[in-house]
Amino acid sequence: MTRSAKPETFSVERTYDHPLSLVFWAFTNLEAKTVWFGGGAQGWDVSHHSLDFTVGGWERWRGRPNPEAPWMTNDALYLDILADERIIFSYHMTMDEALFTVSQQVLEFSAKGSGCHIKVVEQILFIDGVDHLEDRIAGTQGMLDNLAAYLSTLPESAK
């Protein structure tokens, strides 16, 4: 196997018909995030998900899409949090305990009418060719779509 470390950068944007404070909250609350962030609602087998949403806090996730698939982990360290404005974190992912990506990501939140706009920018390092940029972009888009679906299930009083 050829050893490599390939850097890439991408951005994804979404606008939601929900208040900025509610959209931001969905990133801060473990119960909410468990639903839309690669959780059981998407059919994943999740063995662990914890969240310490503070600067210096960790979010740790372990799961797989089906019983035959390898276990994956996502361990994120929160570096900067400005309520209702910005989240900056670094994270690394493993598959079967082998490191395959290291990333830093910034999420920028802004009001758009009565809704919210999110811009996600990620700098990613692919280790040893295990992953591909198109897959990570699709995964990020899918999670943001899952977030929209989750927000639409909340009672009107929460919006």
Q: What is the pLDDT of residue 158?
A: 67
Domains of the chain: residue spans and CATH: 5-153 (3.30.530.20)
Q: What is the pTM of this model?
A: 0.92
Q: What is the pLDDT of residue 55?
A: 99
* Between residues 39 and 69, the one the model is more confident about: 69
Q: What is the pLDDT of residue 91?
A: 98
Q: Where are the beta strands (DSSP E) in the chain?
A: 5-16, 45-51, 58-64, 72-82, 86-95, 98-112, 115-127
CA distance 111 to 89: 22
Q: What is the pLDDT of residue 87?
A: 99
- Taking 80 as the threshold, does the pLDDT of residue 41 lie above it? no
What mean pLDDT comes out for the span 111-132? 93
Q: What is the mean pLDDT of the chain?
A: 93
Residue 53 CA: distances (Å) to CA of 25, 36, 41, 107: 11, 16, 22, 14
Residue 2 pLDDT class (50, 70, 90 cuts): confident
- Taking 90 as the threshold, does the pLDDT of residue 16 lie above it? yes
Q: Which two tokens stand for residue 21?
A: 């404070």
Q: What is the pLDDT of residues 64-121, one digit of tens each?
A: 989 999 999 999 999 999 999 999 999 999 999 999 999 999 999 999 999 999 999 9
